[in-house]
Structures are given as structure tokens and as C-alpha cells.
């Protein structure tokens, strides 16, 4: 099940517009989310075609909130958005 989860090689902070350009149509595990109303940016650690394996990765990451900050799993795109996704 985790085979479809891809690790971002050199994760860096990105603004939301850049996240959209690079990961449109993917489910993302976003960490170190910028504070504020809604998602303005963060660090994409993992991405996948399906969200299932990302929640398992999120449980691992959430054990170290001092490193990864606030995390979320969401969909970037305009199709297939169900339960917990965020169409942007």
C-alpha cells in the first residue's frame, strides 16, 4: 500500500502557488504549514495518487511535532476530491 507514496528528495518550504504548479493532481503530506487562515505554504514531504499511505506517514511524522510542525494530508487539483481533501 505504501508503494505508491513518493518521498520528496529535497523538501523545502514553498508558497501555495508553487505547490500547485509542482504537485497538481496529487495527494500531499504537507508539514511545517505557514500559520494563518487556510494553507499559505509549507513543506511537501510525500506525495501520491491515493491518500491511504500518506496517513500512515503522517502518523509517523506527528510523533515529532517540534521538527515537522503542523501537518495535513490534502488533494491539490480539481478531480477525485473526497473526505479530507482540499481542492485548490
pLDDT at site 47: 96
Q: Give this prediction's pTM.
A: 0.81
User: 27 has which bridge partners?
Assistant: 48, 75
Enumerate residues 6+ apart whose C-beta is below 8 A from 42.
13, 14, 19, 30, 31, 32, 33, 34
All three cell numbers of 65, joined, read 511535532
C-alpha cell at 69: 510542525
Decide: helix, strand or coil at residue 65: helix
Q: Classify residue 33 by its DSSP letter.
A: P
What count of other Cβ atoms lies within 10 Å of the Cβ of residue 10?
A: 4
d(CA 83, CA 41): 21
Q: Would you state the pLDDT for residue 52?
A: 87
Q: What pLDDT is recorded for position 88?
A: 42
List the chain residues with pLDDT less than 50: 1-2, 81-88
Q: What is the pLDDT of residue 3?
A: 57
Amino acid at each position: 500500500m505504501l508503494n505508491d507514496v513518493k518521498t520528496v528528495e529535497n523538501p523545502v518550504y514553498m508558497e501555495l502557488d508553487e505547490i500547485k504548479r509542482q504537485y497538481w493532481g496529487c495527494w500531499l503530506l504537507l508539514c511545517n504549514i505557514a500559520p494563518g487562515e487556510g494553507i499559505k505554504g509549507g513543506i511537501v514531504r510525500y506525495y501520491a495518487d491515493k491518500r491511504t499511505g500518506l496517513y500512515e506517514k503522517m502518523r509517523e511524522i506527528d510523533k515529532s511535532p517540534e521538527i515537522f510542525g503542523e501537518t495535513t494530508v490534502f488533494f491539490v487539483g480539481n478531480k477525485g476530491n473526497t473526505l479530507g481533501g482540499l481542492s485548490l
